[in-house]
Structure 1
Amino acid sequence: MNFELKSLDLAGCATEKCDALIVLVSEAFTPGKDALSQLIVQARKSGDLETKPGKLLQMYRATAAAATRLVLVGAGDGSARQVRQAVAAAVAVVKAPTVHKLLISFAGAAAQKAVRTVVQTVAEGTYVYTTTKSKPEGRKLAQVWLCAPDAAAAKAELALGTATVAGVELAKEWANRPANHATPTMLGTAAKALARFPKLACEVLGPKEVAQLGMGSFMSVAQGSKEPLRFIVLRYNGAAKTMAPTVLVGKGITFDTGGISIKPSAEMDEMKFDMCGAASVLGVFRALADLKPAINVVGLIPACENMPDGGAVKPGDVVTSMSGQTIENLNTDAEGRLVLCDALTYAERFKPRAIIDIATLTGACVVALGGVRSGMFSADDALAAALQAAGESALDPCWRLPLDDEYGEGLKSNFADMANVAGRAGGAITAAKFLQRFTAKMPWAHLDIAGTAWKSGAAKGATGRPVGLLLDYVLAQAAAPLVPAQAATKTVAKRKPAAPRKTVAK
């Protein structure tokens, strides 16, 4: 889909020939003397059109516009949030197979600030997954023109919107793929494909290299699967090498049966979405390739399957993480934290300015926050505030949950340095407390996206979240003073790698 800006007022849009014209009518709409403005005035006066977000008035071949279909839609106060509601409602009624060219005009809306939102909402409303369908029917909508009196002022917002869409749709693509079409190896290939863009580089490590690093916790999760694990290292180099990077760590469990602690069969197919954290990291890097901000970013993806074969890790087994800390695996379905902890330790070598892990980690977070906000945990107030602000600006919100030391008491073990689970109470928090034990030397935040990464039911599919949140955070850091890498803490002392219980042949 191609998005373009046009410097046209409402009267100019009315003369453009297209399959559909959507006019966003905000509370601040000031009518002109043109026919379309007068139509809007009459519709509001009669009560047929309200400015409440999402309220519609549809017309076919209206004399006031050259468009085949005309949709007037209330845009409320013109804020990004209310414009999103308006565009979502309007796009839903113009998604006909015959609509190939669409115009969207701002009538009193805050055009410049809302352009990004319009682009993302149109893309969301017309997205179609096709990869594994025998007769794929993709988007019919090919061209979208965004009309505003001063289009030049909105160019930056258009660029941000289209880059965000590219990232979100890459994340959706890999999250939506069935597990046999999104193995760890395939995920590694997708990451390597991003290295074709300038400033991007990728390295993919296999079982042998991971064993040499001593990632015993990560390997223990993978040992029950015939699919070999992959550890993906992406780098975006937009600033000097001396500048500390932001590190994003995405959970990449490409399918999660629960292992020996096997899940119920109902809706287990949705466990293909257990790599949405990894998909979001890929999406951020895809967007960075277009935007080229002056910052360094590292993406780490520990990718494997969690399967229950004869070699699978058992409840009660003790494994040694890359940090040297030992872990008693009391529940093999709490595997995400076991792959993440080794990736967090690996991240120390980059001396990051901040590290953020993203994971579909706990059902407890879904219970706590539902599908509206992602759970966010951090002991660093500045980092937490920056993520909260990024979520609000991207309309991809998160909510900070506590990390009191008392929540970590349940992770005590008689047989290892820690257990991988505590009790049911506060499950999202105790999972974060587990990860916190591997991040003492770094500013760290954890995003639990179990409730926001995908939808179930008739609308089943990945949402692409939190690509928007992460992208806004990274771009804000690009505008902030750069931090020299030497200001970060020291890396972990080298230790002899623990021998893995089983390593899949590379």
Structure 2
Amino acid sequence: MDFQLKTLSLAQAATEKTDALIVLAGATDNKAGGPLAELIAQARNAGDLPDKAGKLLQLYRPAGITALRVVLVSIGDGAASAVRTAVGAGVQAVKGSNPKRLAIVFAQSADAAALRLAVLAAADTTYVYTTTKPKAEARTVRHVTLGVPDAATLNPAFQEAKATVAGIEFAKEWGNRPANHATPTLLAEAAKSLAEVPHIKCEVLGPKEVAKLGMGSFAAVAQGSSEPLRFIVLRYQGGAKDEPPVVLVGKGITFDTGGVSLKPAAEMDEMKFDMCGAASVLGVFRALGDCRPAINVVGLIPSCENMNDGAALKPGDVVTSMSGQTIEVLNTDAEGRLILCDALTYAKRFAPAAVIDIATLTGACVVALGGVRSGLFSSDDALAAALETAGEQSQDRCWRMPLDDEYAEGLKTHFADVANIAGRAGGAITAAKFLQRFAGDFPWAHLDIAGTAWKSGAAKGSTGRPVGLLLSYLMARAATASAAAPAKSARRKTR
């Protein structure tokens, strides 16, 4: 979808040529003149446009306005989250008329956060999956104009928002694909396509290379499937060559039957979403290719299926990870941590500034946090705080969970260095404690996105989360590094 940022006063918006005009009206009095300002005032006075975010009034062919359809939508106090709610409601209201062009105009001033979320909400509300639906109608909205009082000031935020949309939709695309259209091999091809963008490189390792590296835990999960595993390594070089990278590790189980510890048949189709961590890493790299921050990022994606055949991993088997630690597999459905642990060990070779793994890891996290916030676990307070801030800024929120050493007691076993599961209690935490064993050499965070990566029911589909959170974190880190660079340069000159 094509987005455009334009300087538009409320009076100018009245003459904007578009199929539908959505006007975001704040709770404060509007001093602007013209027919739209008058309509807002009349609607407020009549009680037809309450201050609550998302409340709206639809109009057809209002006098003095070029657009056939006009929707006045309240943004309440104008907070970014309220703007997101309002834009979603406004776009949903006009979707039935199949508009090709939309204009979304702020009746009052808008800040960068509000603009970003307006762009993301418009994209999310109009998104349509069509890859395996050849007869489906494509997205009808093709062009969205964002009208603000001063486009030049907000252009950097606008460009970042567009890049974020591209990344989120790339993640949604691969998350939504059925497993036979998103095998480990196809996921690797998607990663290779990103290497066509400047500053991005891709390397793909197969079973022989993984075996040579000693990734016995990863390989053990893959051994029950006829689909060969793939270990994807993406590199984005935006900073200096000697600058330590941030490493993103995405769980890439392209389908999860549970293995011998078989899952229930009901809703097993949703296990195609078990690679949404990997999809989010791909989405971040897609966005990095557009916004090109001055930072180095590495993406690691261990990808395979968790299937059953005569060679499949069995409960009680002991495997040897790349780190040399042995793991007793008490439950083959706790496979995500088995592939991630080898990727975390591999990450050490990059001497990373930070490592963040992203995984649809545990149903226990869904029970704890539902679908609102992703679970955040971290061994580093500064990294955790930065991710929490990024989550708030992007409205792709997370919630920090504990990592007390006592939670690891249940992972003890007589037959290996560690078991891959503990008891039911605190399942999301014990899974994180397992991963922490393999992340002791660098600042590390784990995002459990089992509740936030996709939706079930009538709205079934990938959400593209946490691309927004991760990109916000990386952009903030790049901005901090850029701000520090002149100071370092000045110190060198005085020596």
Give TM class, smaller chain. Answer: over 0.9
Where do residues 98-247 of structure 1 align in structure 2 (5 Å cutoff)?
Answer: 98-247=98-247
Asked if the contact 1:251–1:301 (Cα under 8 Å) also holds between the matched residues in 2, the reply is yes
Letter of the 1:101 partner, please give it.
Answer: R
Letter of the 2:409 partner, please give it.
Answer: E
Asked if the contact 2:110–2:148 (Cα under 8 Å) also holds between the matched residues in 1, the reply is no
- Residue aligning to 1:267: 267
In 2: Cα distance, 1:392 partner to 1:429 partner:
22
Residue aligned with 1:42, SS:
helix
1:154-177 C-alpha deviation (Å, 9 max, x unpaired): 111110111000000000000000
Q: CA deviation at 1:376?
A: 0.2
Asked if the contact 1:25–1:109 (Cα under 8 Å) also holds between the matched residues in 2, the reply is no
In 2: Cα distance, 1:166 partner to 1:71 partner:
26
Asked if the contact 2:54–2:89 (Cα under 8 Å) also holds between the matched residues in 1, the reply is yes
- Residue aligning to 1:257: 257
Q: CA deviation at 1:111?
A: 4.6
In 2: Cα distance, 1:330 partner to 1:226 partner:
23
- Residue aligning to 1:378: 378
The percent identity for this pair of structures is: 69
Asked if the contact 2:248–2:300 (Cα under 8 Å) also holds between the matched residues in 1, the reply is yes
Point out the more displaced range, 318-327 or 8-17. 8-17
Asked if the contact 1:356–1:445 (Cα under 8 Å) also holds between the matched residues in 2, the reply is yes
Asked if the contact 2:113–2:393 (Cα under 8 Å) also holds between the matched residues in 1, the reply is no
Point out the more displaced range, 16-25 or 228-237. 16-25
In 2: Cα distance, 1:113 partner to 1:321 partner:
43
1:196-220 C-alpha deviation (Å, 9 max, x unpaired): 0000000000000000000000000
Point out the more displaced range, 38-47 or 246-255. 38-47
Asked if the contact 1:113–1:154 (Cα under 8 Å) also holds between the matched residues in 2, the reply is no
Letter of the 1:463 partner, please give it.
Answer: T
1:241-260 C-alpha deviation (Å, 9 max, x unpaired): 10000000000000000000
Residue aligned with 1:428, SS:
helix
In 1: Cα distance, 2:329 partner to 2:413 partner:
10
In 2: Cα distance, 1:97 partner to 1:210 partner:
52
Gap runs ≥5 in structure 2: 486-495
Aligned residues: 484
Asked if the contact 2:108–2:149 (Cα under 8 Å) also holds between the matched residues in 1, the reply is no
Residue aligned with 2:95, SS:
coil
Point out the more displaced range, 54-63 or 111-120. 111-120
Q: CA deviation at 1:35?
A: 1.8
Q: CA deviation at 1:29?
A: 4.0
Alignment of 1:298 onto 2:301:
no
In 2: Cα distance, 1:151 partner to 1:43 partner:
28
1:91-131 C-alpha deviation (Å, 9 max, x unpaired): 10111354111111101252543211111100000000000
- Residue aligning to 2:475: 475
Q: CA RMSD in A?
A: 1.2
In 2: Cα distance, 1:10 partner to 1:149 partner:
9
1:446-470 C-alpha deviation (Å, 9 max, x unpaired): 0000000000000000000000000
Asked if the contact 1:79–1:110 (Cα under 8 Å) also holds between the matched residues in 2, the reply is no
Letter of the 1:129 partner, please give it.
Answer: Y
- Residue aligning to 1:347: 347
Specify whether residues 397 and 449 from structure 1 end up closer, same or farther in structure 2 by C-alpha distance, changes over 3 A only: same
In 1: Cα distance, 2:362 partner to 2:29 partner:
45
In 1: Cα distance, 2:230 partner to 2:455 partner:
27
Q: Report the TM-score when normalising by structure 1.
A: 0.94
Gap runs ≥5 in structure 1: 485-506
Asked if the contact 1:97–1:140 (Cα under 8 Å) also holds between the matched residues in 2, the reply is no
Asked if the contact 1:51–1:73 (Cα under 8 Å) also holds between the matched residues in 2, the reply is no
1:320-379 C-alpha deviation (Å, 9 max, x unpaired): 000000000000000000000000000000000000000000000000000000000012
1:289-321 C-alpha deviation (Å, 9 max, x unpaired): 000100000000000000011100100000000
Asked if the contact 2:109–2:148 (Cα under 8 Å) also holds between the matched residues in 1, the reply is no
Residue aligned with 1:95, SS:
helix
Residue aligned with 1:297, SS:
strand
Residue aligned with 2:96, SS:
coil
Q: CA deviation at 1:480?
A: 2.2
Asked if the contact 1:130–1:138 (Cα under 8 Å) also holds between the matched residues in 2, the reply is yes
Moved over 6 A (4+): none
Residue aligned with 2:4, SS:
strand
In 2: Cα distance, 1:423 partner to 1:113 partner:
42
Alignment of 1:338 onto 2:338:
yes
Alignment of 1:411 onto 2:411:
yes
Letter of the 2:184 partner, please give it.
Answer: P
Asked if the contact 2:22–2:71 (Cα under 8 Å) also holds between the matched residues in 1, the reply is yes
Q: CA deviation at 1:235?
A: 0.2
- Residue aligning to 2:442: 442
Residue aligned with 1:141, SS:
coil
Asked if the contact 1:316–1:328 (Cα under 8 Å) also holds between the matched residues in 2, the reply is yes
- Residue aligning to 1:491: none
Q: Report the TM-score when normalising by structure 2.
A: 0.96
- Residue aligning to 1:454: 454
Q: CA deviation at 1:138?
A: 1.0
Asked if the contact 2:58–2:69 (Cα under 8 Å) also holds between the matched residues in 1, the reply is yes
1:395-436 C-alpha deviation (Å, 9 max, x unpaired): 000000000000000000100000000000000000000000
In 1: Cα distance, 2:343 partner to 2:398 partner:
23
- Residue aligning to 2:433: 433
In 2: Cα distance, 1:263 partner to 1:64 partner:
61
Letter of the 1:334 partner, please give it.
Answer: A
In 1: Cα distance, 2:92 partner to 2:196 partner:
36
Where do residues 312-331 of structure 1 align in structure 2 (5 Å cutoff)?
Answer: 312-331=312-331
Letter of the 1:205 partner, please give it.
Answer: L
In 2: Cα distance, 1:29 partner to 1:184 partner:
55
Residue aligned with 2:305, SS:
strand
Asked if the contact 2:100–2:140 (Cα under 8 Å) also holds between the matched residues in 1, the reply is yes
- Residue aligning to 2:492: none
Letter of the 2:157 partner, please give it.
Answer: E
Residue aligned with 1:96, SS:
helix
- Residue aligning to 1:492: none
Asked if the contact 1:239–1:295 (Cα under 8 Å) also holds between the matched residues in 2, the reply is yes
Q: CA deviation at 1:149?
A: 1.9
1:76-103 C-alpha deviation (Å, 9 max, x unpaired): 1111100001001111011135411111
Residue aligned with 1:293, SS:
coil
In 2: Cα distance, 1:83 partner to 1:339 partner:
40
